[in-house]
A and B are shown apart, each in its own frame.
Chain A
């Protein structure tokens, strides 16, 4: 812990860390007490739903006093313990990021395993049996699916497809090679057997091969956990990660094959042949199941425009069903899940609302994060718990063989693959691929599944598996980051995907397809083009609702980009940058041609850094407050009308501006093939109705930050004829900086209007209609705007298409 620093940040973090530690200890102690008490508590205690206390009292002793406080742990035991585990996992995650430098050196997965070891140690230290947390059912049906779904849903399709051949070769051939190499050599070593390893000589060839197949699979969870932190370039990431996902089919087949053989004890050629066939069935069947469910999900999402709230649920449910359905037939559940997520994504995203999209993203990230944390903690606990049988020879030979097999496999396969690749894999790439082959919890769970009757040496296997996992996660996981730095491996480029890229990518696709057609060569691009055409013509029409089905990909991309930018703008700076960003959209409605050149310094893409924004905001706030004060002092001593007029002009300008923006948005919506919002969109209705009462406009309320309410019509698109809506600036409220900015921007814009051609700001006509002191306004407009964009209430039934900013 940092001790010497006096800085505020360090002490704040220190406090946070301390708090987390206290919480963890509390929780840990509660946990052990719970585990302990669960044994002692007699199961015959009354438990009926109502007042268990009364039952208890009347049941046992009539003379006992009415128990005001009673302890009944059995009822809540299971959910309680589950929650404790999840809470522990989450607190650990918090804690690691509070300790300043730890997370840079040690990957999270290592820390979590250590925590698991500690917890297991504590539980064992208190004399209790460690709960068998690493139950395979729990792992495969609850913990693993979220991680895989998260990976599959957000899989970058283009690099994946481009490198599919390479990935498949690594996954299939590489895993097979690993399994047979490790298994075979291990058997040889066992058989060499001296007297001491007589235990080992009992291990048959099939058992060794089974062990080899368990230990050879690269684990997606571990790879994700480690590679997330090192930010290598996309190609390597997708190669290792794709391999870890696709080798599940191989692992499943090999596992079942060898388990079957070990059970029956006879190997025939026919069975081997059937094994090969079953590989294809497992892999392709899994993908098929996934695609089926994906299409179902996409189709369902087409009709969800009236029940937006449950949209995310469909995504999760269909994916989970795909996984389970594949597991029913012993097909590869992981591949089903990946296929389902990848297939449904483009269609579902075109159909669902923006908020559902955010929900799905965050839920998936949350679940997968918690799952991953839990898996590593459980690994630690299971290490403490599990029955171990340490055999030096076996373990060390396993570890060495795994490494050697991996290296040889990668090098050999790359040699073959490079003949077919356009962008060749360099030695550095090969090293990272080999080094990134981490083993993880899947191997452990598969080992755990082994039945003791068939495998008397199960404990030896488990110990060896755990050792390999520890070795790869700790040693390789910790050193891969410095190695990446040392070897100067290309890192991930942080540049966001720009519209240029999108256009150019499509352009190149068309170009290359054309050239391929001229050459008469049915290559990669030809088939991709055919698939795209088929997709556009038939599939999109079925699966995407409404107008969006005809939207070309470029427009959809542009739409998304503009939306993202607009949301960013409003969230960060209120309306400041909107006028400057609007020229790009204003051109859509300008009938007259734009000026051929724009002044050079004015780049419409906002580039202000956050610090500058803060400065600007501060300056504006202080200056504007002074203005307000000036007005206020005026108000007390002079005629009421005059200062209102001054203030009103500003406010009326602002109001005008809001109308303009509203109109632009409406028209922008029209152009973007999204149905324009009705003038009384639900969000606006809600916003207006939320502001309830009438209050008189009082200048001092400005200072106090009272939330003024207005007449509900204030923010209508068509201005009410006999009321002048005014926009009140709420300076003291926490959101005021943004409102303030709006005001100032409009002030500036007013002066600049001659220069900026794009802005359609008309100077307000000086004599206005009846302005009475009792008129209020909606200061909450900018605030409401922002509320529209962030979370509306969950009770709202949202019609999202264009209800808020584009």
Chain B
């Protein structure tokens, strides 16, 4: 696309990103152009405001949390590598990847990592447990303002009851995985990137 980017993407970088995230060449280039179009300040990094400028994201109930997921702990800027790293979670799972390199670390888009990503969106304080309050917050965001707190509370209680196996009235990551809902839903945490390669 346009040459708004002051900094073009070098081949070595593309190779590195490819190795790290598993995206293909054309996918990386396309996402880079998207990155630069979001980057109004043209400094090679995105800030939170850049994300918030996306109109559909503003009306998304989970918008803020998703944006936060892109930024590593405590930082306010994300570069292209970080951007791609987060997006890599949403690549389709490929079966043949399992066989390639058994000794390597799990690819970013493995099933567990996808679930971990989703789990972290619930679990804001990173204590590896979804407490009732965190669940309530998520419910409140998704449901809107018309519903009373007590009713949401009862929904949250019921949710925790169904998933909680060790009785600590929080949902740990293992319970999150094991709970039937995860099994039943196809791991749809995949975004369909239309460009095949």
Q: Give the chain A neighbours of B148 by CB distance below 8 A.
A: 588, 671
Whether A422 lies near B92 (C-beta < 8 A) is yes
Whether B139 lies near A510 (C-beta < 8 A) is no
- What separation, in Å, do the CA atoms of A417 and B154 have in the docked complex? 44
Q: Is B155 an interface residue (CB 8 A)?
A: yes
Whether B66 lies near A515 (C-beta < 8 A) is yes
Q: Give the chain A neighbours of B161 by CB distance below 8 A.
A: 584, 603-605
Q: Is B98 an interface residue (CB 8 A)?
A: no
The listed residue (A504, A510, A516, A584) touching B185 by CB distance below 8 A is A504
Q: Is B3 an interface residue (CB 8 A)?
A: no
Whether B150 lies near A587 (C-beta < 8 A) is yes
- What separation, in Å, do the CA atoms of A201 and B15 have in the docked complex? 65
Q: Give the chain B neighbours of A600 by CB distance below 8 A.
A: 167
- What separation, in Å, do the CA atoms of A299 and B181 have in the docked complex? 34
Q: Is B31 an interface residue (CB 8 A)?
A: yes
Point out which of B57, B163, B184 has the most chain A C-beta atoms below 10 A from its C-beta. B184
- What separation, in Å, do the CA atoms of A65 and B188 have in the docked complex? 84
- What separation, in Å, do the CA atoms of A519 and B30 have in the docked complex? 9
Stretch touching chain B among A69-77, A375-383, A491-499, A793-801: A491-499
B59-96 Cβ-contact flags toward A at 8 Å (1 or 0): 11111001000000000000000000001001010000
The listed residue (A504, A511, A597) touching B169 by CB distance below 8 A is A597
Whether A495 lies near B60 (C-beta < 8 A) is no
Whether A584 lies near B158 (C-beta < 8 A) is yes
Whether B63 lies near A499 (C-beta < 8 A) is no
Q: Is B191 an interface residue (CB 8 A)?
A: yes
The listed residue (A500, A506, A510, A516) touching B163 by CB distance below 8 A is A500
* Given A511-B121, A518-B57, A671-B151, A498:B191 Cβ within 8 A: no
Whether A589 lies near B182 (C-beta < 8 A) is no
Give how many A residues have a beta carbon under 8 Å from the other chain's beta carbons. 54
Interchain nearest-CB distance for A802 vs B (Å): 15
Q: Give the chain B neighbours of A605 by CB distance below 8 A.
A: 161-162
Whether B153 lies near A587 (C-beta < 8 A) is yes
Whether A422 lies near B193 (C-beta < 8 A) is no
Whether A518 lies near B66 (C-beta < 8 A) is yes
Whether A498 lies near B143 (C-beta < 8 A) is no
* Given A499-B158, A519-B34, A605-B162, A511:B189 Cβ within 8 A: yes
* Given A511-B189, A552-B143, A499:B159 Cβ within 8 A: yes
Q: Give the chain A neighbours of B104 by CB distance below 8 A.
A: none
Segment 420-434 of A: residues with Cβ below 8 Å from B: 422-423
Whether A588 lies near B154 (C-beta < 8 A) is yes
Whether B150 lies near A519 (C-beta < 8 A) is no
Segment 494-546 of A: residues with Cβ below 8 Å from B: 495, 498-501, 503-508, 510-521, 523-526, 529, 533
Interchain nearest-CB distance for A704 vs B (Å): 44
- What separation, in Å, do the CA atoms of A598 and B167 have in the docked complex? 9
The listed residue (B57, B169, B189) touching A598 by CB distance below 8 A is B169
Whether B191 lies near A523 (C-beta < 8 A) is yes
Whether A500 lies near B162 (C-beta < 8 A) is yes
Segment 118-173 of B: residues with Cβ below 8 Å from A: 118, 121-122, 138-139, 142-144, 146-148, 150-151, 153-155, 157-159, 161-163, 167, 169
Q: Is B180 an interface residue (CB 8 A)?
A: yes
- What separation, in Å, do the CA atoms of A555 and B156 have in the docked complex? 12
- Find the B residue at minimum CB distance from A524: B192
Segment 604-622 of A: residues with Cβ below 8 Å from B: 604-605
Interchain nearest-CB distance for A476 vs B (Å): 28
Whether A515 lies near B180 (C-beta < 8 A) is no
The listed residue (B150, B157, B189) touching A508 by CB distance below 8 A is B189
Q: Give the chain A neighbours of B193 by CB distance below 8 A.
A: 519, 521
- Find the A residue at minimum CB distance from B60: A514
- What separation, in Å, do the CA atoms of A698 and B49 have in the docked complex? 79
Q: Is A554 an interface residue (CB 8 A)?
A: yes
* Given A508-B118, A552-B144, A584-B157, A521:B56 Cβ within 8 A: no
Whether B142 lies near A510 (C-beta < 8 A) is yes
Q: Is B190 an interface residue (CB 8 A)?
A: yes
Q: Is A558 an interface residue (CB 8 A)?
A: yes
- Find the A residue at minimum CB distance from B142: A506
Whether B90 lies near A515 (C-beta < 8 A) is yes
Q: Give the chain B neighbours of A500 by CB distance below 8 A.
A: 159, 162-163, 179-181
Whether B154 lies near A510 (C-beta < 8 A) is no
Interchain nearest-CB distance for A589 vs B (Å): 7
- What separation, in Å, do the CA atoms of A501 and B186 have in the docked complex? 11
Whether A495 lies near B184 (C-beta < 8 A) is yes
Whether A503 lies near B191 (C-beta < 8 A) is no
Q: Is A51 an interface residue (CB 8 A)?
A: no
- Find the A residue at minimum CB distance from B171: A500
Whether A518 lies near B147 (C-beta < 8 A) is no
Q: Is A550 an interface residue (CB 8 A)?
A: yes
- What separation, in Å, do the CA atoms of A604 and B169 have in the docked complex? 13
- What separation, in Å, do the CA atoms of A423 and B181 have in the docked complex? 18
Q: Is A585 an interface residue (CB 8 A)?
A: yes
Q: Give the chain A neighbours of B138 by CB distance below 8 A.
A: 503, 507
Q: Give the chain A neighbours of B37 by CB distance below 8 A.
A: 520
- What separation, in Å, do the CA atoms of A486 and B24 have in the docked complex? 40
Whether A493 lies near B157 (C-beta < 8 A) is no
The listed residue (B56, B154, B155, B191) touching A554 by CB distance below 8 A is B155
Whether B184 lies near A589 (C-beta < 8 A) is no
- What separation, in Å, do the CA atoms of A600 and B144 have in the docked complex? 32
Q: Is B194 an interface residue (CB 8 A)?
A: yes
Q: What 4 A-B pairs come out closest when comparing CB atoms?
A: A588-B150, A501-B181, A500-B181, A517-B56
Given contacts A517-B60, A604-B161, list 10 more A-B pairs with CB under 8 A. A419-B196, A423-B186, A495-B184, A500-B181, A503-B138, A518-B57, A521-B194, A523-B194, A558-B158, A671-B150
11 residue pairs A–B, Cβ–Cβ below 8 Å: A495-B184, A504-B118, A504-B182, A507-B118, A507-B122, A515-B90, A516-B191, A517-B57, A552-B147, A554-B139, A673-B147
